[in-house]
Homo-oligomer: A and B are copies of this chain.
Amino acid sequence: MTLQIDPSLHPFFNPKGIALIGASTDPNKLGYALARNLVQCNYQGELHFVNPKGGTLLGRKIYTHILEVPEPVDLAILLVPAITVPGLLRDVGRRGISAAIIGSGGFREVGPEGAALEEECVAIARKYHIRLLGPNCIGIMNTHLPLDATFLPPPPPRPGDVAFISQSGAILAAVIDWARGQDLGLSHLISLGNQADICETDVLAPVAADVHTNVLTLYLEGVRDGRRFVREASQVARLKPIVALKVGRFASGQRAVASHTGALAGRESAFNAAFWRAGVIRAETSEEMFDWARALAWCPLPKGRSIAILTSAGGPGVTAADALEINGMQLAELQLETVTCLKQILPAAASLLNPVDLLATATPEQYAASLQCLLRDDGVHGVLIILPPLPMQTAGAVAKALIPVIYSADKPVVIALMGERLIQEAIEHFRAAHIPEYRFPERAASALAILAERAEFLARPEEVPQIFEDVERERVEQLLAPYVKASPANLEGIALPTEVVIQILNAYRIPTQPAGLAKTKDEAAALAEKIGFPVAMKIASPAIAHKSDIGGVLLNVADPLSVAQGFEIIQRNAQQAHPDAEILGVHVQRMLPEGQDVIIGGIHDDQFGALVMFGSGGVEVEGLKDVAFALAPLTDHEANQILQKTWAGRKLSGYRNLSPADREATIIALKRLAQLVADFPQISEFEINPLRVMAPGEGVYAIDVRARVKA
């Protein structure tokens, strides 16, 4: 697979010539620091400094105007007061330069005046076809080109294979300093700043296309266009792993919601669903992100989740075994030949079961030979080696013996090097050999789990969502139109009458139970006779969302007289609870036999568009929180997975004396609902709760439904 790279971004990744506008001879200015880094970084293209004061800087001429700068120059860097940026950007355009980094602050981040200035820049850039990075950014680094177009204090990080793309300049600066301390090599570093033009999604493909980059790491506070991010990230992630630290988890604020689906969704569910579809690995902390990045950059992927632990001490072996299980991995059961192989190497008191314990007398040769035995075992998909301080051997000697074995392995091997000072030499050996080492077994175990997750993602079929052709799309369009029109903008939209929701379900072939709307008690009795007893009765009022809360529901009504009486009771209850609500009558539905009740719902997320939810339904859905989300429409794999993520979905296959239910029909209903919410962005929330799942082969029925539309 090859990635589509936008050619207008090339100057940011391989500029032929750079002009720094705002180069300064004052060593206390950022314009000096950036000039110094450009010169010192050994950049092989042309460098031009621009400052109206002229003069020389670091042995080079300073041009007084960008228009004077000779060819080649395809990237301008502006580090000047914000107020002067628009004018200078215009000059950049006139000079025919089509890429600019605006390092200066003082734009959108400082308030409305800055925002206006930023918009002016965007307009100028559009007019002159300039691509912009920033403003308010630290710049870019490419350690292999090499290029250091930042104003950070030297030295830059070591060249390596992990790229870091950041929506926070401070985090970028901290990561560079931290990576230097950890001796972690980096490839590309991109500070996105205010993202007036280029955003996180734009740079994914160009960074992934770089041969030196094995892993992309992202610090994200949000994404500009959710669906575009998912599309781009999906493509990139098939080629190279993406690990993202997404923050701003709780910043979404409260919005009024009318359904369980809406209350449970929130922005984080959407991000998780998007990352899941795209194969983006979500880290919870910065340390996790780089722990995982090293393993992803350097290790072959495992064929499964069975791991062998090789240790010379029992305690850390137990810790590692725990950590593996917490991370969803398991201890491999060693084959007989493996145990025999180990027996020939190790003393009698050693433990030959997994974890394999070499004892404190372990030699470098025993470590290496035991690892060889373990790697030959087909049931072992990866090895976690624990290296505590040994009384008689240096960790460095053990590292030297292990490295050739790990090098020739086609299975991942990670190291928990325990301690700090006594293991420095070993750390250096492993780092130089690109073998991931961690200070504690827990972190090594979590890295192995991520390798397994990555392998599973790559094995996931590249399906397209199933689209049902038998749906009546125009019919739904017509049904929605009057309500969309009536819905006030900027609000939560308006609820659809139940009978409209049912017609929509019919149009998308999602089964509902036999039912009708009665306007009088006599109509209700007649309808019930037609549908067949017993029936359920529910108040019909778009203003009343949770009908059973106010006595608006009667179940198991068995004869015409009771139906007529029930009609009056329900009307009275509803009027008392909501005196101003418009009441359309009472829905009469056939009571269905028992089954498994689930909730399926869809919402329209502002960032990622249509999402579906599946889980344990009923009134307790918000309490149990047994729900999972996915982007709509759904592939077959996704529909199956979303079921497996919840207890509600797992138990559809039966559990103890709970009979199995119609899992297939549930999946079809879920996919049809996904298609519906994906087809109609005007549907802000759509919920079937419960969806009654009958015995296998007997289908599903939407029992209670609600939906809202928005202009």
Interface residues of A, Cβ cutoff 8 Å to B? 30, 105, 109-111, 151-153, 166-171, 173-174, 176-182, 219, 221, 245, 247-251, 284-287, 312-316, 318-319, 321-323, 325-326, 349, 360, 388-389, 391, 418-423, 439-440, 442-443, 546, 548-549, 616, 619-620, 623-624, 626, 647, 650-651, 655-658
Are A658 and B167 CB-contacts (below 8 A) given A182-B420, A250-B325, A439-B178?
no
- List the B side residues contacting A177 at CB < 8 Å: 389, 418-423
Q: How long is the Cα–Cα vector from A456 to B110 in the complex, in angstroms?
A: 41
CA distance A591 to B465 in the complex (A): 49
Do A319 and B286 contact each other (CB < 8 Å), given the known contacts A546-B656, A619-B655?
A: yes
Q: Roughly how many angstroms separate A152 CA and B177 CA in the complex, as a whole number?
A: 34
Write out the residue numbers on chain B whose beta carbons fall within 8 Å of the beta carbon of A420: 177-182
Sampled A-B contacts (12; CB under 8 Å): A167-B315, A169-B315, A170-B418, A174-B418, A177-B418, A178-B420, A248-B318, A250-B325, A251-B321, A284-B442, A287-B442, A619-B658
Q: A168-B315, A173-B389, A286-B440 are in contact. List 19 more A-B contacts (CB 8 A).
A: A105-B360, A153-B422, A168-B316, A168-B318, A169-B315, A173-B388, A180-B421, A247-B319, A251-B318, A251-B321, A284-B442, A285-B440, A286-B442, A287-B439, A546-B656, A546-B657, A620-B647, A620-B655, A624-B624
The 10 A-B residue pairs with the shortest CB-CB distance, nearest first, are: A168-B315, A181-B420, A170-B313, A177-B419, A174-B418, A549-B657, A170-B388, A285-B442, A171-B315, A249-B322
CB within 8 Å for A247 and B620 given contacts A315-B168, A316-B170, A422-B177: no
A659 to B186, CA, bound (A): 59
Nearest-neighbor residue (CB-CB) of A172 within chain B: B315
Shortest Cβ distance from residue A466 to the other chain B in the assembled complex, whole angstroms: 28
Q: Considering only CB atoms, which chain B residue lies closest to A420 in the complex? A: B181
**Which of A221, A388, A440, A647 gathers the greatest number of chain B CB atoms within 10 Å?**
A388
Q: Which residues of B contact A318 (CB under 8 A)?
A: 168, 221, 247-248, 251
Give chain B residues whose Cβ lies under 8 Å from the Cβ of A152: 389
Known contacts being A251-B321, A322-B249, A619-B658, is A314 close to B170, with CB within 8 Å?
yes
From B181, B313, B548, contact of A168 by CB (8 A): B313
**Which residues from chain B contact A316 at a C-beta distance below 8 Å?**
168, 170-171, 174
| Chain B neighbourhood of A182, CB < 8 A | 420
- A170 touches which one: B111, B169, B315 (CB < 8 A)? B315
A110 to B658, CA, bound (A): 49
Residues from chain B with a CB closer than 8 A to the CB of A326 are: 249, 284
Find chain B residues with CB under 8 A from A319 CB: 171, 245, 247, 286
Q: Which of B391, B626, B657 contacts A619 (CB 8 A)?
A: B657
Task: Give the chain B neighbours of A109 by CB distance below 8 A.
Answer: 314, 349
Contact A166 B657 (CB under 8 A): no
Contacts of A30 in B (CB 8 A): 391
Q: Which residues of B contact A389 (CB under 8 A)?
A: 152-153, 170, 173-174, 177
Are A250 and B169 touching (Cβ within 8 A)?
Answer: no
- In the bound assembly, the distance between CA atoms of A650 and B620 in angstroms comes to 11
- Chain B residues lying within 8 Å of A325, measured Cβ to Cβ, are 249-250
CB nearest to A417 among chain B residues: B174
Least Cβ distance of A353 to chain B in Å? 12
Kindly provide the distance from the CB of A666 to the nearest chain B CB, expressed in whole angstroms: 17
A665 to B114, CA, bound (A): 63
Q: In the assembly, what is the distance between CA of A533 and CA of B389, in Å?
A: 74
- In the complex, what's the smallest C-beta–C-beta distance from A251 to chain B, in angstroms? 7
Instruction: Assess A313 versus B171: contact at CB under 8 Å? Given A287-B440, A624-B647.
Output: yes
Could you tell me the distance between the alpha carbons of A643 and B168 in the complex, rounded to whole angstroms? 43
Find out whether the CB atom of B421 lies under 8 angstroms from the CB atom of A181.
Answer: yes
Residues from chain B with a CB closer than 8 A to the CB of A440 are 285-287
CB distance from A356 to the nearest CB of B (A): 15
Residue with the greatest number of chain B CB neighbours at <10 A, chosen from A443, A650, A657: A657
Cα-based distance from A152 to B392 in the complex (angstroms): 11
B173 lies within 8 A of A419 (CB): yes
- A553 → chain B closest CB, angstroms: 9
Q: Which of B250, B422, B439 contacts A322 (CB 8 A)?
A: B250
A316 to B318: give the CA distance in the assembly, Å: 35
Cα-based distance from A600 to B41 in the complex (angstroms) = 69
Contact call A314/B168, Cβ cutoff below 8 A: yes
The docked-state distance in angstroms from the alpha carbon of A335 to that of B285 is 31
- State the Cβ distance, A690 to closest chain B Cβ, in Å: 14
Flag if B623 contacts A647 (CB, 8 Å).
Answer: yes
- How many angstroms between the C-alpha atoms of A277 and B110 in the bound complex? 51
* B110 engages A174 (CB within 8 Å): no
Closest chain B CB from A695 CB (angstroms):
17
- When C-beta atoms are compared, the residue in chain B nearest to A312 turns out to be B170
A309 CB, min distance to chain B CBs, angstroms: 13
B residues less than 8 Å from A169 (CB atoms): 313, 315, 360
A179 to B420, CA, bound (A): 8
Interchain CB contact under 8 A, B248 and A419: no
A247 x B315 contact (CB < 8 A): yes
Q: What's the Cα separation between A169 and B179 when bound, in Å? A: 32
Distance, CA A152 to CA B548, complexed state (A): 71
State in angstroms the CA–CA spacing of A326 and B285 once bound together: 12
Q: Are A170 and B110 in contact (CB under 8 A)?
A: no
Task: Return chain B residues, CB-CB under 8 Å to A284.
Answer: 326, 442
B626, A651: Cβ atoms closer than 8 Å: no
How many angstroms from the CA of A575 to the CA of B152 in the assembled complex?
Answer: 81
List B contacts of A620 (CB < 8 A): 647, 651, 655, 658
CB-CB under 8 A from A419, the residues of chain B are: 173-174, 176-178, 181
- What CA separation (Å) do A153 and B391 show in the bound complex? 8
Closest B residue to A181 using CB positions: B420
Question: When the two chains form their complex, are residues B418 and A178 in contact, meaning their CB atoms are under 8 A apart?
Answer: yes
Closest beta carbon of chain B to A459's beta carbon, Å? 26
* Complex-state Cα separation, A647 to B181, whole angstroms: 46
Q: What residues on B are CB-neighbors of A153 within 8 Å? A: 389, 422
Once the chains are docked, how many angstroms separate the CA of A152 from the CA of B421? 13
- Nearest Cβ distance between residue A327 and chain B, in whole angstroms? 12
Question: What is the bound-complex CA distance between A655 and B313, given in angstroms?
Answer: 52
Q: With the chains together, A422 CA to B443 CA distance in Å?
A: 25
Across the interface, do B313 and A388 meet the contact criterion of CB distance under 8 Å? no
Cα-based distance from A493 to B177 in the complex (angstroms):
62
